[in-house]
Structure formats: C-alpha cells, structure tokens
Chain A
Amino acid sequence: MKPLDFYFSSQHPNEKILFIVHRHWFNMLVQFIPLLSLLGIMIISFIMQPYIFEDFAPEGGQTIFFFLQTFFLIFIWIFGFIIWFDYYLDIWIITTERIVNVEQKGLFSRQVSELKFNHIQDISTDIKGFFPTILNFGDITVQTASEQSHFIFRSVGNPYKIKSDLMYQVKKMKQK
C-alpha cells in the first residue's frame, strides 16, 4: 500500500499515512437537503417575483425582496460550507503505526483520539438499511484493549475493504 503525501500535526517522524477515511457522501447529502429545499423556494420566489410585484408593489418592496433573498442566500452559503467543513474535518487517518480518529464538533470543538494497531482485538462491520446497502456504506467497530474500549468509524464507504485493510495492518504489526 503506497503511503499518501499528506501530513497531520501529531505525525511521528517515520510515520506514513496509508489511507484516509471520511464519512460517505450520502451522510453529507442528507444534511444538505433542508438547505437545498430553502434554495429551491428562493429560486421559485425569484421567478415568481415579477408577477407578484406587478399586482401589488409597495414603495421599496422589490428592494426589500432582493435584500431578503441575498440575506437568506448568505445564510445558506455559510451553513452549506459549515456542513462540508464538519464532513471534511471528521476524518480517520490510518498510518503505518496507528489509527487517528479526528472528530470536528462545530467550529470550536475538536476531539482527537488514537489507537495503536497492537491494541486492536477485533474489527466488525455493520451495514443496516436500504440506502447503506445500495450505496455500500456502514459502521466499522474496532474493539480495543486500551482505556477506550472501542472506536467507531461511522457511515464510511466500502467498510468491508477498510476492515480487511485494517486487519492486514494489525497482522503486520503483530508479526513485528
């Protein structure tokens, strides 16, 4: 497995990143649905605007309408980026030595935990539901011998492949 050319802040000198796991894109899409609905309503109102304002046009009505449109567009834009930001920075980094679990909770809260391969006791996968089965994503639970009894990779794509890659690394570490 060829190491990736990325770096993270607590990376050890000889440690290489093997692969990076994010949550499946469907998980992010579900969070975008309310924003996309709001965007759809805004577009429809923008299209309907000439017909509405033809009939009753209070002084400055159109200006207020466009002001409110851009106001809500700013909110949609920023919340859309925050959803992506949360998705992008929730990351599992699998290196040659350990698994690093980074969980970004909002803009100001971040939890980083790590698990060395020689502490892993068991790995199991769980795909439940119609969309997870069709799109092949699910949870991976890593049982450990450390203080934190298990690690969970939530809603990750191709969980069986990730599990077999992790098992390979665990086996390789135990053979050393």
Chain B
Amino acid sequence: MTAMFTIIYIFFIFFVTLTSFFFVTRLQKYSINPRLTKPLILLFIITTSILVIINILFFINIPFAEIFDTVNYY
C-alpha cells in the first residue's frame, strides 16, 4: 500500500513538473512583454519549487505503517 501511494505521488510530482515546464516555455515563447513575464516566471518557479519541497517533506513523514496498522486493526 505504501509503495502504491508512493508511485501515485511520484506521478503527481511528475505532472506538476511537466505542467510547470510547459507553462514556463509557452510563456517565454509567446509573451509580447518579456519585462513583465520574466519576473512572473521566476516567481512561479520559486514558489512552485518551495511548495513541492514542503509537500514532499510532509509526504515522507507520513507514518504509513502506523496508519495501515490502525486501519487493519479496525
């Protein structure tokens, strides 16, 4: 079960990274005012990275073994 959740979570992180990558590349390519979009791209990359790192830290601290033991007990 833990492995399954981990695999699903890895797919989620991959999806976030891919979406962010395409978003940034599209914006860089099509923006008509790079002076406005460059700082926004930087803000997006930094904030997304921080949120993903915090999310990963919480994920690896989830006590899956204890939770599934409690579920099995009930």
Q: Using a CB–CB distance below 8 Å, which chain A residues touch chain B?
A: 6-8, 20, 58-60, 63-64, 66-67, 70-71, 73-74, 77-78, 81-82, 85, 88-89, 91, 93, 102, 104, 107-108, 110
Q: How far is it, in angstroms, between the C-alpha of A88 and the C-alpha of B58 when the chains are bound?
A: 34
Tell me if B19 counts as interface (CB < 8 A to partner A).
Answer: yes
The answer to whether B23 and A77 touch across the interface, beta carbons within 8 angstroms, is: no
- Report how many residues on chain B are interfacial, defined by Cβ distance under 8 Å: 28
Which residues of chain A are within 8 angstroms of B59 by Cβ–Cβ distance?
A: 67
Q: How far is it, in angstroms, between the C-alpha of A170 and the C-alpha of B12 when the chains are bound?
A: 51
The answer to whether B62 and A7 touch across the interface, beta carbons within 8 angstroms, is: no
Closest residue of B by beta carbon distance from A6? B32
Q: Using a CB–CB distance below 8 Å, which chain B residues touch chain A?
A: 12, 16, 19-20, 22-23, 26-27, 30-33, 37, 44, 47-48, 51-52, 54-55, 58-59, 61-63, 66-67, 70
Instruction: Name A67's contact: one of B33, B62, B66 (CB within 8 Å).
Output: B62
Main secondary structure of the interface of B (DSSP, over half): helix
Closest residue of B by beta carbon distance from A71? B55
Q: How far is it, in angstroms, between the C-alpha of A102 and the C-alpha of B30 when the chains are bound?
A: 10
Which residues of chain B are within 8 angstroms of A20 by Cβ–Cβ distance?
A: 32
Closest residue of A by beta carbon distance from B66? A59
Instruction: Name B27's contact: one of A74, A85, A93 (CB within 8 Å).
Output: A85
Which residues of chain A are within 8 angstroms of B30 by Cβ–Cβ distance?
A: 89, 102, 104, 110
Q: A59-B66, A63-B62 are contacts. A70–B33 as well, Cβ < 8 Å?
A: no
The answer to whether B32 and A78 touch across the interface, beta carbons within 8 angstroms, is: no
The answer to whether A63 and B58 touch across the interface, beta carbons within 8 angstroms, is: yes
Q: A66-B58, A67-B58, A110-B30 are contacts. A60–B48 as well, Cβ < 8 Å?
A: no
- What's the nearest-Cβ distance from chain A to residue B8, in Å? 12
Q: How far is it, in angstroms, between the C-alpha of A83 and the C-alpha of B65 when the chains are bound?
A: 39
Instruction: Name A107's contact: one of B22, B32, B55 (CB within 8 Å).
Output: B22
Q: A8-B32, A70-B58 are contacts. A78–B19 as well, Cβ < 8 Å?
A: yes
